Amino acid sequence: MKTKLLSAVLSIGLVSSKLLVAQDSKPEEILTVGSKAPAIVAEHWLTKGDGQFNADAEFQTGKVYVIAFWGTQSPGSIQNFVAFAQLQKQLAAHGVQVIVLSEEPLDVVERFLEQTLPVKEGEPPTLKQIASSVNLATDPDRSVVETYMEASGQFTLPTVFIVGKDGAIDWLGPAAGVSGPLGEVLQDIWDRRSAKAVSLQSQRRSMVLSKVNREMKDGDTVAALAELDKGLKAFERDAEATAQLQAVRVRVEMFPATKLAEEGKYPEAIELMDDLAVKYPKHIGEISQIKLSILLNGELYDQAVPLIDLMIAKLPNPIALNQIAWRIYEQSKDDDKYPATLLASAAAAAKKALELAPREAGIMDTCAHLLHRSGDLDAAIEMQTKASLFVDEKTNPGVKPYLEQLKQEKEAASK
């Protein structure tokens, strides 16, 4: 069964394409620690902190503001929203105002707030009631997103900015890291100068990646590589940044191969991938995975089998090996004529993955599916039973239902 090879397999996935701040911007042109915090001019305010917040006013001297950019679809959206509301309640007496901003349409956020939570007796039953203590706004025209998130090179949600008592930004970063800096800001012991140096280094790296992402969205691989080369030169003394940018460069260079494959030019795509494997031996694992995707998509199974065998021997990564096995299972499950040699390689990859991570329920689940695919129902049930003992149902809810399906199949066969 042939599946479409999407160029998204190599998507950089770094930032919004609307981020227009240049990589070579001077430090003062980047919104960073020490910058004056821009006014919050949002389109719609749903709540204003039980009436304690004036949305049209400038930041007040002596108050600390926590500005959280968040979305209803972002990871942990409910938990994070509740955490912001709790933070407001805990720190209101210390002059802290929590502002939660989404760039989603008003009706999307309103529907989100109608959700009922499993809460203790006496607590608010809906997110709307919980939201009443914070300052919640939507910004569909993205004006606030542009002046904060894009101007500072931030692109993940939720991201938090702390505005200090003098109206300047004291800290910015992921919501999970806000408590330490916020405590020091409130105690007036925050070292803004040191925080700025650290933040700027990270932000400049993000700016490089943002330009690369924009060029890739426009399909300009040459321009993207040029931006990466500039970044690699600028960060040549920063080992962490260099490693990150080099990894992105490899992905960008693989992008033309996926385009060739989408056009059906598989020999040319494979030749390009082989050249990259020689050029970047340290990235052979990722290159091999993309090459395998191209081979499977082109149904070049005779070349896929030896590549999988090589990856089993050389790639000590249980997650990657499990992904290979599952991809082949998914491709083969409705194809009775699928090559037995490729299924055998998939089973070997799953087995190796399980040897490397013997308590990983997701890998056991893959093994069970492949065993069932091979016709060994009893072995599949035994493996899936083991998986059910280790599974986290929140992250892998399908394990136990699949076990029941296997048991029912055996019961039906015995009648």
**C-alpha count within 13 angstroms, C-beta hemisphere, residue 146:** 10
Residue 21 binned pLDDT confidence (cut-offs 50, 70, 90): very low
C-alpha span between 170 and 238 (Å, rounded): 24
Are 83 and 98 in contact by the 8 Å Cβ rule? The answer is no
pLDDT digits (tens, 9 = 90+) for 148-187: 998 898 878 899 999 999 999 999 999 999 999 999 999 9
Q: How many CB atoms lie within 10 A of CB 108?
A: 14
pLDDT digits (tens, 9 = 90+) for 27-41: 447 899 999 999 998
Q: In sequence order, which residues have a C-beta less than 8 Å from that of residue 390 and are 6 or more positions away?
A: 359, 360, 361, 364
DSSP state of 92: G
pLDDT digits (tens, 9 = 90+) for 60-117: 899 999 999 999 988 788 889 999 999 998 998 898 999 999 999 999 999 999 887 7
Is pLDDT at 249 greater than 90 in this prediction? Answer: yes
pLDDT for the residue 72: 92
Residue with tokens 């992905």: 251
What mean pLDDT is predicted for residues 314-337? 92
What secondary structure does DSSP assign to 256-317, as a single string?
A: HHHHHHHTT-HHHHHHHHHHHHHH-GGGHHHHHHHHHHHHHHTT-HHHHHHHHHHHHHH---
CA quadruple 187, 191, 195, 196: dihedral, nearest 10: 120
- Superfamily name and number for 300-414: Tetratricopeptide repeat domain (1.25.40.10)
pLDDT digits (tens, 9 = 90+) for 230-242: 999 989 998 988 9
pLDDT for the residue 54: 57
What secondary structure does DSSP assign to 7-30, as a single string?
A: GGGG----S-TT----TT--GGGS
Q: What is the pTM of this model?
A: 0.67
Residue 13 binned pLDDT confidence (cut-offs 50, 70, 90): very low
Are 152 and 58 in contact by the 8 Å Cβ rule? The answer is no
Is pLDDT at 49 greater than 80 in this prediction? Answer: no
pLDDT digits (tens, 9 = 90+) for 306-317: 999 999 998 889
Using omega within 30 degrees of 0 as the cis cutoff, is the peptide bond preceding 38 cis?
A: no
Is pLDDT at 1 greater than 50 in this prediction? Answer: no
Q: Which is more confidently placed, 272 or 212?
A: 272
pLDDT for the residue 402: 95
Domain extents in the chain: 31-187, 300-414
Residue 142, both tokens? 């993205």
Least confident of 23-32, 54-63, 275-284, 391-400: 23-32
Q: Give the CATH fold of the 31-187 domain.
A: Glutaredoxin (3.40.30)
Residue 25 binned pLDDT confidence (cut-offs 50, 70, 90): very low
End-to-end Cα separation, the chain, in angstroms:
33
C-alpha span between 38 and 161 (Å, rounded): 11
